[in-house]
Amino acid sequence: MGGPSEVSRRTLLTRAAALGALAVPGAALLDACATGGGSGNASSDKGTVTKDNPLGVKVDAPLDVVIFKGGFGDKYATDAEAAFKQKYPKATIKHTGTQTITQQLAPRFVGGNPPDLIDNSGAQQLDMNSLISKGQLTDLTPLLDAPSFDDPTKKVRDTLLPGSVEQGQYGGKEVYAMNYAQNVFGVWYSQAQLDKYQIKYPQTWADMITACETLKGKGIAGWTYAGKYPYYVHFAMYGMIAKIGGLDVMKSIDNLEPNAWKNPAVKTAVDAFAELAAKGYILQGSEGLTHIESQTAWNQGKAAFIPNGSWVENESKPTTPAGFNMAVGGPPSASAADKLPYGSTWSASGEPFIVPKQGKNALGGQELLRIMLSKAQSQNFAKLVSSLTCVAGAADGIQLPPGLTSANALLKAAGQGVSNPRLPDWYPDLEKKSLGQNTGLLMHKELSTADWITRAQAAADAVASNSAIKKFKHSS
């Protein structure tokens, strides 16, 4: 994501890495902008639909693009824009790279002049729930049903990895986001560091504790995390919850079902992270670190493990030493009773791109996405930022860096055991503020597991009972 979409992406997850304050100054503006709803695309400009222009883009219409310039940077986007410009030389393109999405764009929504395409990621991403419930976004179904850029006999949707289309749905058939990056979440580490101390990546939590104790004896912390954005811990915790209790546990949490957080699998997973804190296995001062600072400490060998997403390889590149040999492992097994085998983890498409209904060139925004979903642009993305896109097989035949190679291997090993929590992008405030802040207290030994669960359930219940918040449900 670049974060969860940072998670959420990356809000996750959004998936998707995030920068900026958790309290978003523009949130009120976003609500204000959404009150008008959307009765259709503001632009009346439409070109002629042809074989080479299946969406009917007006060839000389200006294009306004805003990209979250986080863990993935924005060169991949400017490269795609250059390809757009080559195809439509009469069009002018305004490009903005920023880490303050809501601060910059909420006023533009209020004024009725949003951009044509937005990479809505990072800690200050626009609230998808609010935008969708107020009718501010374009349904991308026509884009998905259009001929793909590389092969006109295939629809765009038929070139994507399984689950990519569903990731952009919010309780209905409409697709409001195209999640571009395929993120793999888990426990990241340096294979070179583990080799140095003759430690194998721990496949059980008991082995994790043993490894942390060994490292502690060497003056090295077992873990660090982004204390300023403690929801990063969830990149490992949520996968562990699903591994212990099965995929339906996380689905019930996403669905805001009563007592979902009181499932025994949640307690086991939260207990595990509380144990790291209780036994002094967390790098001192982690609670005050940003994601960049925690990644730097990890790169410097001060801590062995860090919960993160696959954007971390690119984002931490400036401080990653030669021979670090970055790798990722799935959440360790709690016991033989875990519902999913070792290797199961959280993976989802992230980095959500959205097309505002009131953009002056919404068709152009969709066409740029169609170009981005080509094999050439997908491979360019993989080479530039060490991450896959949602395009199936796009990176086949190209050399991948160690972290991405490891992420691909983990995803392959996970098989059907891939979880995809939707709570981070369905209810970002619940994820980042309520749950994230409580996880920060847990990791700093200021909150017990029992109190964490009580607070999590209370926060989820508050969202479930709030009629002003649109609700989403898993279809199965």
pLDDT along the chain (476 residues), means of 10: 42 32 38 43 72 96 96 94 98 97 94 96 88 94 97 96 88 92 94 98 98 98 97 98 97 97 98 98 98 98 97 93 98 97 90 96 98 96 88 84 91 86 92 96 98 98 95 82
Residue by residue, DSSP assigns 229-258 as SGGGGHHHHHHHHHHHH-HHHHHHHHTT-T
Q: What is residue 1's predicted lDDT score, i.e. its pLDDT?
A: 46
Q: Domains of the chain, with CATH numbers?
A: 8-182+348-399 (3.40.190.10)
Q: What is residue 38's predicted lDDT score, i.e. its pLDDT?
A: 41
Within its chain, how far is the Cα of 336 from the centroid? 30
Q: What is residue 26's predicted lDDT score, i.e. its pLDDT?
A: 40
Q: What is residue 408's predicted lDDT score, i.e. its pLDDT?
A: 85
Contacts 24+ apart (CB under 8 A), 453-457: 453/261, 453/262, 453/266, 453/267, 453/270, 456/261, 456/266, 457/259, 457/260, 457/261, 457/262
Which of these, 474, 473, 2, 13, lies nearest to 239 by C-alpha position? 13
Within its chain, how far is the Cα of 35 from the centroid? 27
Q: Is 446 helix (H, G, I), strand (E, B) or coil?
A: coil
Q: What is residue 23's predicted lDDT score, i.e. its pLDDT?
A: 32
The pTM (predicted TM-score) of the whole model is: 0.78
Q: What is residue 46's predicted lDDT score, i.e. its pLDDT?
A: 86
In residues, how long is the chain? 476
Query: Which H helix or E strand runs over 376?
Result: helix 375-385
